[in-house]
Chains A and B, each alone.
Chain A
Amino acid sequence: MLADYGLLALFIIVAILFATMLPLVALALRLAGIGAKRKPNPHKDTTYECGVQPVGKAWVQFNFRYYFYALVFVVLDVLTIFLYPWATDVKGLAEFGLAAVAVFVAIVCTAYVYAWRKGLLEWK
């Protein structure tokens, strides 16, 4: 089992190296004079906003509208993670396990129903 995770860690290193290599290949080709040279000019380096001159910066405060979705998501995602241990041995835990999980899900879903009734699931 330890060997499995060692294998996984090594593969993660391989994957990182490979993914990093891809843009570096393009860079190497450019340095070798094969690809297109980088020829910056002030107009090319502005951000593209349909041809209109950009006004101000993009990094401003604005209402991104999914704050409450994110809160509900955290609750429900934790719920699903707690269901996984039960799911691997449903047969062994039998009716008692099912009832216990049903109670647990019912408690968490009270919050979900409350959020729905309060209109938090509407995108507005």
Chain B
Amino acid sequence: MAPINFWVLDNFWAHLALFGIAIIAFVLLMVMVFIWFERRAFGPFQLRRGPNRASPWGALQPVADAIKVLLKEDIVPAVADKWVHFIAPIIGFLPVLLIFAVVPFHRGHGLLPDMNIGILYVVAISALGVVGVFMAGWASGNKYSLLGGMRVIAQMVSYEVPLVLSIISVVLVAGTLSMNGIVAAQEVPYFLLMPLGFIIFLIAAMAEINRGPFDLLEADSEIVAGFHIEYSGMKFAMFYLAEYGHALAMSAIAATLFFGGWKGPGDVYLGILWFLLKIFFIFFLLIWARVTFPRLRVDHLMGFGWKFLFPLALANVFIMAAEVIFWGGADGGVPWWVIFVNFPAAIALIYLWSRLFKFGGGRVDVTA
């Protein structure tokens, strides 16, 4: 159990009220900070300055955007399915909030960080967001948005399996599904112990949250804006919120699973600061990937998920399992020196497998 220091955490209703409000405030605030951070980071990457007019360093830019979008006209197409069109952003945003129910924020505190199925719950809930996106694409009555909705399912289907397998390798070593248990088990951060698992998790997470090189569902050069063409005003803002909220959730989960969550050198009261620092570091990796790599072609996207990530994720699971069984201590876990085995193994596997498989030639044969 987490160390409980305050009377308020012992009370069921006070706990719910405190962390319910804290999680909602955290998500809204961090999404604004993330939008600002991403736009500021994009500036130097693209040899420009980024937002710098609204207050020093443009820090109030997301606030201005939020007020503007709240006051915009709400346009619903005449052919749209009105109810589904209204519900879709709500369904899309809901899982983002729900993921944070099991994330340990500060020294093991959170709404439910000790829940015994923690990471399985995260996997189940985070896949729900795609339903909202598909509902939006279908309900708009627009051909492009329907294509975007179809693509997001194809992409989710392809990258869900590597994501879940890379999480299994964490569970293998930690020996528990509880988020607090996984943090407690990490004496050495797991991105050092299983570099292959971390890389696969990061790539699959990028694809799951439809960012970076994997944003095919809103490829503006192909299908206008994808599923949210027909959305404006607050409903569009909710999709924006859900997108960045999902990026925040994936960063928080990666920080918890692979970087030791709130653990870090120094005073234990620095927990939340270490957690935020790790979240920002992982989000910076996501930004870096987004700004560096061009968007993938759809057949390359599917081939990469199925032919490259899935076999490597499976291999990673068996490598980690064998290491836990043959080298691990009496109560599971792996010794720290497997770093020297796993890094060369990861490099060798990535190199060899990238030699072995190939995409389906230079162009796609479109046959009806």
Contacts and interface: CB of A to CB of B under 8 A. Distances in A.
Interface of A: 1, 3-4, 7-8, 10-12, 14-16, 18-20, 22-23, 25-27, 29-30, 34-40, 42, 44-50, 54, 57-59, 63-66, 69-70, 72-73, 76-77, 80-81, 83-84, 87-91, 94-95, 98, 101-102, 105, 109, 112, 116, 121-124
Interface in B98-121: 98, 101, 111-112, 114-116, 120
Given A39-B73, A73-B158, A84-B120, A48 B168 contact: no
A82 B229 CA distance: 39
A83 B321 CA distance: 11
Contacts of A66: 150, 153-154, 157, 302
Given A11-B98, A29-B70, 7 more contacts: A22-B93, A23-B89, A26-B235, A76-B161, A81-B164, A84-B168, A98-B325
Given A14-B20, A84-B120, A38 B160 contact: no
Given A1-B116, A116-B307, A94 B325 contact: yes
Contacts, number: 216
Interface in B264-316: 298-299, 301-303, 306-307, 310, 314
Most buried by B among A4, A20, A59, A91: A91
Nearest to A73: B157
B78 to A, nearest CB: 4
Contact of B158 (A19, A25, A59, A69): A69
B24 interface: yes
Contacts of A45: 75-78
Given A47-B230, A124-B365, A84 B157 contact: no
Nearest to B150: A64
B219 to A, nearest CB: 14
The 6 closest A-B pairs by CB, nearest first: A26-B234, A123-B299, A36-B73, A47-B142, A45-B78, A91-B332
Given A7-B112, A45-B76, A48-B230, A70 B120 contact: no
Given A7-B12, A23-B89, A124-B366, A76 B74 contact: no
A7 B200 CA distance: 33
B358 to A, nearest CB: 11
B328 A91 contact: yes
B324 A91 contact: yes
B115 A4 contact: yes
A23 B177 contact: no
A36 B97 CA distance: 29
Interface residues of B, number: 89
Contacts of A122: 299, 303, 360
A40 to B, nearest CB: 8
A105 to B, nearest CB: 7
Interface of B is mostly: helix
Contacts of B74: 26-27, 30, 36, 38
A94 to B, nearest CB: 6
A97 B259 CA distance: 29
B51 to A, nearest CB: 24
Interface in B311-368: 314, 317-318, 321-322, 324-325, 328, 330-332, 360, 364-368
Given A45-B75, A69-B158, A80-B168, A8 B101 contact: yes
A22 B91 CA distance: 12
B331 A91 contact: yes
Most buried by B among A34, A66, A94: A66
A34 B116 contact: no
B112 A18 contact: no
B145 to A, nearest CB: 8
B79 A57 contact: yes
B49 interface: no
Contacts of A50: 224
Contact of B77 (A8, A35, A47, A69): A47
B146 interface: yes
B247 interface: no
Contacts of B302: 66, 69, 121, 123
Given A48-B142, A122-B360, A123-B303, A26 B161 contact: no
Contacts of A112: 310
A18 B24 contact: yes
Contacts of B175: 88-91
A77 B229 contact: no
Contact of A18 (B97, B111, B318): B97
Contacts of A14: 16, 20, 24
